[in-house]
Amino acid sequence: MKIVQRVAKLSALAVKEKEVATYARDLGGIIHWVEQLNELDVSAVEPMVGAENAQLRMREDEVTDGNCREAVLSNAPERIADFYAVPKVVE
């Protein structure tokens, strides 16, 4: 039960006291499922980036400005030259 309250606090979620037992049961089920996955022998399986059996396409690593500066800056509530203007938050 304490783990549910700790996770709720860390994630800034409001969990009602009557819901804690339900979340504890659900979380226990998830942990049990992950423990079962950890028991699998995957030593002969190549690491993948997704469920598809496809190679990642490589491209040249070229630095660009994205060609959309004005489109991005048009969303700014306030701007100074080519920058977003934001209130000072750190003294």
Domain segments of the chain: what residues? 2-38
pLDDT of residue 6: 92
pTM value > 0.85: no
pLDDT of residue 91: 82
Cα dist. 90→22, 32, 85, 86, 87 in Å?
41, 44, 15, 12, 9
Summarize pLDDT for 12-67 with one digit per residue, the tens.
999 999 999 999 999 999 999 999 999 999 999 888 777 777 777 888 898 887 88
pLDDT of residue 65: 79
